[in-house]
Structure 1
Amino acid sequence: MSYFKRGVIFITFFVACISVALLVASLGTKHWVEARAKRVKNPIESDGKIHFGLFNGKKDLNVAYGWRSYDIDVTYLVRYEPEFLMYGVWIGTVIAVCAGLFFSGLSAVFAAVNTATTTSRCLTSVSGLYFWNLSAVVCDVIAICLWTAQFYLNIQYSVLSREDKDNEWTSENMAELGYSFWFVAGAAVASFINIIIIFIANTEKEVDTVIPVLEEKTNGAIMLY
């Protein structure tokens, strides 16, 4: 493997690490959803700020008597208040993000391996990097699609618990996708960029194989003269 190709493959290691970091951040941060809330009784005096991730979050509510903060346990609400989030879509999103993290991690590992040495095994070779990065892109896109469906089918209408709704709070049409969600989109873009970089690296290999053949034909013609 040429120095150019090793250098290009080494770049994919850093890009894969960026993808891993973005996916870890998406799982660890609490801003997949950001929303405001109002009380139906006194919408002018009341105000609420809500944000949560895949596992937990926080809400700040003001009933005109000052702000009060509460923790949100997403896993509890999904289990005991199924109207809060659709369970199948939520668990599918979690699995897809974790799978994307797994494949991005393998992409980084095998990029480092191919930078240090040459291997001919299918899934550990340079060509195998296509598979790991493509798998990461697919998982990330699945997560994006699932959470987008969750948002338009459920979240945009309410991000409140039963207790809050019983107290006449509403968040209808006041929610938006937070930056934790966009981390996954960034990870998908990073993995796709890696596919392009790997294609460039493999293109360089084809050039290397053509040059010796041309030189051999030239040398043969000289010998005839």
Structure 2
Amino acid sequence: MCLRYKTFFFLNFVTCLCIVILLCTSIGTPHWIEAESKRNSSLGGGVSNVISTNDDEPGPNRGFIHFGVVRGCKIFNYGFGARDYKCFKVSEEHADLYPTGLLIVVIVFMVIAAIFAMVATIFGMVNAITRPIEAIHGPKGLFLWNGFGAIFSGISLFMYVGLYYTTFEGKEVLNAEDTSQPNYFTTDSANYGYSFWLLVTTFGLFCVNLILLIIAHKMNDPNFRWRRRAQEISTIQTTELAQSIMY
């Protein structure tokens, strides 16, 4: 039973390590939002029905843009072959499209979630190898670190989802330079990219860790006797304090 009990802590170590990697990858990759673009024929662009045979290049008079919370890239084909990818800082490129300051909040909460995941990674291994004396280093501490990690990653997730539905879905994600003369490119729709789904995965892994810790606690203490022991310790301490005051 002891080996099975500690297995849950080792699983916590592995999943939290994955969470840290996924969060860093999500922040650093520019594929939170992906959108295809085309030139507006009514403004002189002329949309072509020809589709490029190269998956990395858009067809004539079409383009592609993808971006994350820090940077992004875009590429356009004006009918004479695709130009090179042009990369940009999201805070500068989209300054006039939506409040990019919200992205800073998303990043900060993701970093905080990664810090809690790192702490849970360390103490997950400690609990898998030893039996910590202090509660904050033990299973209760793991539950606390994973709980805070889930909260902050969840806040980041739902903030960006809200930003998507209010700003990106069915709306223009190109700046004024790309949509005006002589470019005339527009985007029809924007979809989530893999970088966003990495954040969703980290939130799910935090929740899985919490479930595993609850199962581990039920295995080790099915009747939740720690509450009774805590009350007994509190009563003893109160009695000793009262006696010391009397004498």
Answer yes or no: same fold by TM over 0.5: yes
Any conservation in 2 of the 1:32–1:180 contact (CA below 8 Å)? yes
Q: Check if 1:135 corresponds to 2:151.
A: no
The amino acid that maps onto 1:133 is: N
Any conservation in 2 of the 1:86–1:154 contact (CA below 8 Å)? no
The Cα of 1:120 is off from its aligned counterpart by: 3.2
Match of 1:221 in 2: none
Q: Check if 1:160 corresponds to 2:157.
A: no
Match of 1:47 in 2: 62
Match of 2:229 in 1: none
Match of 1:116 in 2: 129
Q: Check if 1:6 corresponds to 2:6.
A: yes
The amino acid that maps onto 1:57 is: G
Match of 1:218 in 2: none
Q: Give the whole-Å Cα distance in 2 for the aligned partners of 1:96 and 1:82.
A: 24
Match of 1:220 in 2: none
Q: Give the whole-Å Cα distance in 1 for the aligned partners of 2:178 and 2:113.
A: 35
Gapped regions of structure 2 (runs ≥ 5): 49-59, 226-247
**What's the C-alpha RMSD, in Å, of the aligned pairs?**
2.0
Gapped regions of structure 1 (runs ≥ 5): 211-225
Match of 1:89 in 2: 102
Q: Check if 1:205 corresponds to 2:209.
A: no
SS at match of 2:34: strand
Say if 1:174 and 1:189 are closer, same or farther in 2 by CA, change over 3 A.
same
TM superposition outliers: structure 1 runs of 4+ over 6 Å: none
Any conservation in 1 of the 2:149–2:206 contact (CA below 8 Å)? yes
The Cα of 1:108 is off from its aligned counterpart by: 0.8
Structure 2 length-normalised TM: 0.77
Any conservation in 1 of the 2:90–2:100 contact (CA below 8 Å)? no
Q: Give the whole-Å Cα distance in 2 for the aligned partners of 1:194 and 1:124.
A: 16
The Cα of 1:207 is off from its aligned counterpart by: 4.6
Structure 1 length-normalised TM: 0.84
Match of 2:239 in 1: none
What CA deviation, in whole Å up to 9, does each residue of 1:55-99 have, x standing for no partner? 112111011121112112213235xx232x322321121112111
